[in-house]
Structure 1
Amino acid sequence: MRDNTLFSLAGKRALVTGASRGIGLALARGLGQYGAKIVLNGRTREPLEAARMVLDGDGIEAVTARFDVTDQDAVIAGVEAIERDHGPIDILINNAGIQRRAPLEQFSRKDWDALIATNLNAVFFVGQAVAQHMLPRKQGKIVNICSVQSELARPGIAPYTATKGAVKNLTKGMATDWARHGLQVNGLAPGYFQTEMNENLVADKDFTKWLCQRTPAGRWGRVDELVGAAVFLSSEASSFVNGHILMVDGGLTSSV
Structure 2
Amino acid sequence: MEFSGVEAVADESGLESGAPMAVSSREQLVRHLALAAAANNVPAALRLLAEYVGAAHFLFARCDLIQEQGLDFIVSSDWPFDLVRRIGSELASNYAKSTELEKCLSLLTPNFSLLPDDVLVPEQISRQYCSLTVCIGRTRYTLLLLFVEGIILSQDRLREVGLLATYLAGFKQTPDARAERDFELTERELECLFWIAEGKTSDEIAVILGISRNTINNYITSVMRKTGTKTRSEAIAYAVRNNLV
Q: Output the TM-score relative to the length of structure 1.
A: 0.26
Which has the larger helix fraction?
1
For the pair shown, the structure with the greater C-alpha radius of gyration is 2
- Give TM-score, length-normalised by structure 2: 0.27
Work out which structure has the larger RCO, using CA pairs closer than 8 Å and 6 or more positions apart in sequence: 1
